Every structure is written in C-alpha cells, then in structure tokens.
Chains A and B, each alone.
Chain A
Amino acid sequence: MKKFAVVAAMATAFLGSTSAYAVDLEVTHWWTSAGEAAAIAEFAKLFEEKTGNTWVDSALAGSGTGANPVIISRIIGGDPMGATQMNTGRDAEELIQAGLMRDLTPIVEEMGGLDFYVDQSLLEACKYEGGLYCLPINIHSWDWLWLSTAAYEKIGQPVPTNWDEYVASWPALEEAGILPFGLATGWPISGVPGVLMSGIGGSDLVLAVNRDKSGDAVRGPEFRKVAEAMDSLRKVISPEMMVPSFGDVGNQILSGEAAGNIHGDWLAGDLQVAGGVPGENYECLPALGMGDQLTGGGDSFYFPVLPEGTDPAVIQAQTDLAKILISPEGQLNFNMVKGSMPIRTDIDLSNANPCMQKAIKMLGNGLLPSGDFALSSDTQQQMQDLNIEFLDDDSITVDDYIERYASIIESAD
C-alpha cells in the first residue's frame, strides 16, 4: 500500500511536471552579489530543465535588513511568493506558528526521510509541532579568517596559520601601510565576536552562550579573551578606512591593501568571481586556525501557503522545487558556486576548492549553533547595535562590553 502511494505520488509529480502548460513560480531571495547570483542561477536552470516551469526570479537587495522585511510583509499581507529563501534560524518562526508556511512533511516522507542531512540539528529550526516547514539548502559559517598572500609577501613574512600569529603580524603590516583588518561598514562587524568565540573561546563557550543563553559564561574568563580580542581589533580599524560592502573587502584582500578579514564563507564566492585562487591569492583559516568545530547556520527555503484557488500546478511546482533543492545534483551545482557547504556529503565533492575541503572535514566533528541560527532576530539586532557601538566608541571598556553582552544574552528569548 505504501509503495503504491509512493508510486502514485511520483506519477503525479511526473504528470505535474510535464503537463501541457508551464506555470510561473516566483522565488524571492537576497542573493545579489556576483557570486551569489551565479549560484542561484544553478537552481533556476535545473528547475526549468527538469519541470518545464518558469522560475520567476525576484532578487531583493539588502539581505537580512532590507530583503527580509519585504519577504515577511508580503507573506503577512496575503501576497505570498511561490518560494523564498531566508536564513536558517528563527527569523520565520512566527510565520510558521501562524500557519503561513506549507508543511513539507508529505514531500519528505515521499522522498524517504531526511537522513542524508549531514547535521540533523540544522532541521531543528524548521520543525514546529511535528511538521517540517523549511528545507535548509546549505551550511554557512562565519568562522573564517581570510588572509591576503600579497600583503604578507610585501612585508616578507609567511602567511599566518592561526589567530595568534596573525595578531603578532599587525605592527609590521601597519608599518608597511597595509590595513591589518579590512572591514565594511554596518553589519559585518556583528559576526566577528561569534567567530572569536569559537576560535579563541572554544566550543563549550559557544554552546553555553548561544544555546544555553548563560550570562555567567559571558562574564567568565573565556569570554574575556574574546572581548579583549575585539578590543585589539578596534584599535587597528578606523572609520575612514572602512569600505561600503563586504565584497570590497574581498578586493582589498586580493590586492594586498588589507591583510585579513573575518567574514562568512559567502565571501569565497566573491573572491572566486574576482579571480582569486585559494592558496595562491588568499588563504582561508576555518575557526581562526585554532578550533576544530565550526559554528553554522545557513539558508533555508520556505514555501508559503498559497491562497485558495491557486492553480494546483503551481503547488505542484513548489513540490518539485523542494525536491530539486535538496537533490544531490542541485546541492552539488549550487554549493560549488556559492562557496557554502552542501547539506549532504553523499555527493562527489572532489571538485570543491581547498577551503571547502577543510570545512567539510570539520563538519564531521559536528556543527555548533551560530548566533544567526540560535538567537532571535531581535537579539541579533541588539548584538549588532552593541558591536557597532563598541567598535567606534573607545569610551566603552572591555568590562562594559562584557556586561552589556551578558545582559543581552540573559534577556534573550
């Protein structure tokens, strides 16, 4: 009987996909930088080839701060798109609770479960009252220290292999007129403390702060090291030298204008598009070259519940897209371009660049919950405000920083 259901479902899927008329499926996302746009195009191509439907691409500028509100207000306002990308985590929590997202459990059952996910903890954010409301499609990690080979050639030093060596090289870099740490204005600084936490503070600290929301852990000696590292970072960053977007920092690193940067792995896509070769033009150190676990979140696709009276073919197109996103082929094509880690490792990753190879190795040790993943957007916004303020205002001491960080974590919901 069950077998029959599967066959029937597959048959309808097949029928739906080859039906005489093709439907449009609008997909919203905020992948607008060169590397990101190339990656999403891989999904679009696969979707159109396999189903004959049309992928209507709605790229929204401004990522979490600009695009997220648009996506949310469209769903709340009764004008849902066919599918949308959002961060894996708690941004869409309330939309799911309000019943605005489609339950994907039947599709998953039909596919025979989700055991192929490399880390089941990723799916936690998608689950609500026994249903599954989103599909994580990649794993992103902030935990990367990017280093410029050109800059270290200029000062005649070997490229550092961990955070401590990197910090030790700052005076020589500054003397040579190279920025020790390139940074873009606004949100990029907000990811840095989390990276320092997993690199310098260790996995236990990340779990205690992000998962258990323990203020005592923030006030402890391990986090103090993190705060002190932030303090030393802000001393080598000046507002005049900050660039408008993180992609510009990538260019600074390739040209040797800036020696290093802590930024998420999505920078790799931009470095690649700009012609950088890992190991040659830049080096990447996961977890600052010190830890053995990465913190991660990533992106998920959500399928809003479409209004009544919608063409069943569109709903079928949603189903088809869901399957394609996590299919081995889709995962491979997409992540190779995006620079993120695939959610399944049962695919041929031998073409992955050396940075991704390092990351995939570390995935075996389990994924730590990143701030993006474990904290609500309200808490993330407060953290971002604190970090931006701390970076610029030297009158906020390390102690103040720790105390304020602790109180935000304690009041986190």
Chain B
Amino acid sequence: MADTAVRMEDGAGVSTRPGFLSRIFLHNLSAKFAALPMVITVLVVFVGCTIWTIYYSFTNSKLLPTGKFIGFDQYERLFATSRWNVSVWNLLAYGAMSLVFTLVIGFILAVLIDQKVRFESAFRTIMLYPFALSFIVTGLVWQWIMNPTLGLQGTMRKLGWDWFSFDWIANPKMVLFALLIAGLWHGTGFCMVLMLAGLRGVDEEVWKAARVDGIPTWRTYLSIVLPMMRGVLVTAVVIIGSGIVRLYDLVVALTNGGPGISSEVPAKYVFNYMFSGGNIGQGLAGATMMLLTVLIIMIPWAYLEFGGKGRR
C-alpha cells in the first residue's frame, strides 16, 4: 500500500482519483511533519481532555476523579439547580447583547476614524487601551465607578444632584447591563481596530466607482464595503464569541455573581463546584453543557461558512 502510494505520488498530477490518500498524507510532507507537534497537542490536550471531561461528567466523582458511572444523574441535578439555570440565561442575554453592541459600536467607531481624521493614531490608541487591561482590572475599576455609595452615584449626590441614581450593580434587574458596560468598554476598541483594518483593505477604486455612481456614503458603507469585509467580520465574531463563552473573570471582579445570584455565569458555577464544592462530576457536567451549547451554535455556522468550497 505504501509503495503504491509513493509511486502514485509521482504521477499525482495526471491521475488524481487513485492517489487521493497519498495526496493527503504525502503531499508537502515537510510541512505536515512540522505541524505534527501541534496535531499531537490538539489530539491529546483538546480532544483527549474533552473526552475525559465528558466521561467523568457521567460519574459521581467528588474531589478526585475516581467515581462510578451513574448515567445522567449529574445532569438531572444540574438542570434542577436554579443557580445553573440563571447562569445559562444570563450568558445568553449577555452574549446576544455583547455580540450585537460590540460589532455595531466597533463598526461605527471604525467608520468615524476612517474619515481621515487628524490624530488618528492617538484616537486608535485611546480606543484600544482598555483591551490592554485584564478583565480583573476592568472589573475592579468599574466596580468602584458603579459602587452606589462610593462611585459615580455617591459623587453626583454629594455634588447636589440628589435625584441622580446609578445603582445597576446593586440592582438584580440591571446588573447584567452593568456587566455589559464593562465588557463593551473592554472589547469594542479591539473590534474597532479589526474593522478599521477591514475598511482599509477595501480598494480605493471601489469608493471612486461608488462616488461616480452617486451613491451616498452611508449606503456605500452598508451595501458595498460591509459585505466586502466578510473575512474581518468572521474573525471579529469568533473572537467576541469565544470571549463571551469563557466570561468568568469579569464577573468575579465586578459583581462576584451578585446581588444574590443575579449575575452568575456557567463558567463560575463549574469552577465553584469543581474546586470549592469538591464535586468534579457536577462541575464537568456543567462544562460539558457549555461545550454542547457552543457546538450547537458553531457546527451549523461552520458548515455554512466553510462547507461549500467553491463559494468564495
């Protein structure tokens, strides 16, 4: 088999069908060899640990992964836990808002900066600056700003505006928006820079043609430039999306899940039950559900995006 494969490789250009396997394995051999460490890492660390995670979510493991197989008990408990259900709902609400607002605000900012403004690099730096801070720092800063007694509300009231109220962080109904403010402050700058790169990648000739045709600028942006930035948009969505799913540190620093459980997120539940709760089975069940949610969203999308080969 190997011999024929090698011989086929010589005439690969002529007869493609029988040499299919050999093309997969032997074509550009040195590049594949170079990629081997990464392939092994992916198989062992990512795939291997994922399988390990899923397996142990079906056991009654406590502190150590030594439990017996117990079927779906961990999942039954998970879905009966109000903290988990609140967490999932919070992540969905936060995720949807965060995705939409980051993209929209990022795009608008990019367009504004794209207007050949003066001191462009200064603006760019200012906008991108929050991204250089960790979520922990972001969370702490906003915790102080939004603290009802010490922060903005307290300051304004002391200055005489008694009616001023900004207590979102202590209000169970508004606390998600408080998270959103901090998240957007942190993330939109990066999105803006990505979008700006995309805008700059659009050929000047396109603009000239649009101008000749008398198309208004806003229309050019929406109907011509935006569709041309498809690649950048995909990148932005993937980066923002992965940031949403792993949302954890911002919550810990900003609200620690409070008030009550109104800003809990799944990652925090998983962490709490795996480590301080000493219940690995329960934590891994939560982690598996997070993975499943991501897959449900990612697989159809990836199929649409990368499935049809001749599309782009």
Contacts and interface: CB of A to CB of B under 8 A. Distances in A.
B260 A72 contact: no
Contacts of B272: 65, 381
B62 A378 contact: yes
Contacts of B77: 411
A73 B259 CA distance: 30
B243 interface: no
Interface in A91-117: 91, 93-95, 98
Q: Name B's interface SS.
A: loop
B148 A240 contact: yes
B229 interface: no
B278 A377 contact: yes
B167 interface: yes
A275 interface: no
Interface string A55-69: 000000000111011
B155 interface: no
B89 interface: no
B288 interface: no
Contacts of A68: 275-276
B172 interface: yes
Interface in A365-398: 376-378, 380-382, 385, 388-389, 391-393
A378 B282 contact: yes
Contacts of A94: 62-64, 66, 278
A68 B276 CA distance: 7
A185 B258 contact: yes
A82 to B, nearest CB: 21
A385 B83 contact: yes
Nearest to A380: B277
B63 A186 contact: no
A392 B172 contact: yes
Given A186-B256, A240-B149, A240-B170, A389 B275 contact: no
B276 A93 contact: no
Contacts of A238: 170
A279 B69 CA distance: 56
B102 interface: no
Interface in A122-156: none
A378 B279 contact: yes
A101 B137 CA distance: 38
B82 interface: yes
Interface size class of B (residues with CB under 8 A): 20 to 34
Contacts of A72: 63, 275, 278
Interface size class of A (residues with CB under 8 A): 20 to 34
A206 B185 CA distance: 49
A382 B172 CA distance: 20
A76 B64 contact: yes
A239 interface: yes
B273 A381 contact: yes
B278 A91 contact: yes
A380 B278 CA distance: 10
Contacts of A391: 260
B64 A98 contact: yes
A378 B82 contact: no
Contact of A392 (B256, B260, B277, B282): B260
Contacts of B83: 385, 389
B276 A377 contact: yes
A238 B277 CA distance: 27
Interface in B157-216: 167, 170-172
B247 to A, nearest CB: 19
A64 B148 contact: no
Interface in A9-51: none
A336 to B, nearest CB: 30
Contacts of A376: 62, 278
A179 B258 CA distance: 20
A377 B279 CA distance: 8
Interface string B255-292: 01111111000000000110111110010000000000
Contact of A239 (B63, B81, B170, B278): B170
Contact of A378 (B64, B172, B277): B277
A380 B171 CA distance: 26
Nearest to A69: B275
Residue with the highest number of chain A CB atoms closer than 10 Å, among B64, B170, B257, B278: B278
Interface of A: 64-66, 68-69, 72-73, 76, 91, 93-95, 98, 185-186, 238-240, 376-378, 380-382, 385, 388-389, 391-393, 411
Interface of B: 62-64, 66, 77, 81-83, 148-149, 167, 170-172, 256-262, 272-273, 275-279, 282
8 contacts: A65-B272, A68-B276, A186-B256, A376-B278, A377-B63, A378-B273, A378-B277, A392-B258
- In the A-B complex, list the 8 residue pairs whose CB atoms are closest, starting with the nearest: A392-B260, A381-B277, A69-B275, A239-B259, A94-B63, A65-B276, A378-B279, A377-B278
Given A64-B276, A69-B275, A240-B148, 12 more contacts: A65-B275, A68-B275, A73-B275, A91-B278, A376-B62, A378-B278, A381-B272, A381-B276, A388-B260, A391-B260, A393-B260, A411-B77
